[in-house]
Structure 1
């Protein structure tokens, strides 16, 4: 895994780049959070392709458990991907509501994620 740094208005954003799934469990989320927090990052960009597919099936409750950790510890997260492929109304509603807040954002591009996190 590689971490690319983006600094916008003194906000340090860590973009996680990997060819593998790196977020499978709430414990993985805590490890990512802790790793980036101790490196001085304020916010995180993660790609949908690096997240276990069950995350996007809200019935599994994996998304809630993982995202709660990021919100609880105050580490804003943007997830970049093509979410139009998911036909779940509840997931689409969840994404819509998340994007209204400041802690968890779903974006279609890295530039959109950076824009959302730099607010």
Structure 2
């Protein structure tokens, strides 16, 4: 299944295929952003497993670079999936996830049903 633009809770969301190419560079993130923006998406839902493991190791600054790109292009990034193993290893990541989920630009959610609920609550 390729990445698909869907309307979820009245919001245009690019739902990325779990089997799609991994996001391992900022250029790959920009390519994803470009495709999403071109398609009219407001939100990009990326499976956690498609993100390079460096994303979850904050010392690499990869997450910050990727998140900033989404903010700069006014697209919301939603990391979808179980990141428990990453959270167990990092107090800083737990803090980032908690803070991000309090705001509107980047969310970490367990599944698409949680995304639907979050989008519905925001409208």
Please state which structure has a larger fraction of its residues in helix.
Answer: 2
SS at match of 1:5: strand
Partner Cα separation in structure 2 for residue 8 and residue 51 of structure 1:
22
Find the partner of 2:104 among 99, 102, 105: 102
Give the Å deviation of 1:113.
2.0
Gap change, CA 1:84 and 1:53, over 3 Å in 2? same
TM-score by length of 2: 0.88
Contact conserved, 2:76 with 2:105, CA < 8 A, in 1? yes
Partner Cα separation in structure 2 for residue 51 and residue 117 of structure 1:
22
Q: Does 1:3 align with 2:3?
A: yes
Contact conserved, 2:5 with 2:39, CA < 8 A, in 1? no
Q: Does 1:52 align with 2:42?
A: no
Partner Cα separation in structure 1 for residue 76 and residue 98 of structure 2:
16
Which position in structure 2 is the counterpart of 1:71?
A: 71
Q: What is the aligned residue count? A: 119
Q: Does 1:19 align with 2:19?
A: yes
Give the Å deviation of 1:5.
3.0
Q: Does 1:62 align with 2:62?
A: yes
Give the unaligned 5+ runs of structure 1.
none
Which position in structure 2 is the counterpart of 1:90?
A: 92
Give the Å deviation of 1:28.
1.1
Q: Deviations over 1:1-53 (max 9, x none)?
A: 61223213542111000425421111111110011110111111000111101
Give the Å deviation of 1:59.
0.3
Gap change, CA 1:8 and 1:81, over 3 Å in 2? closer
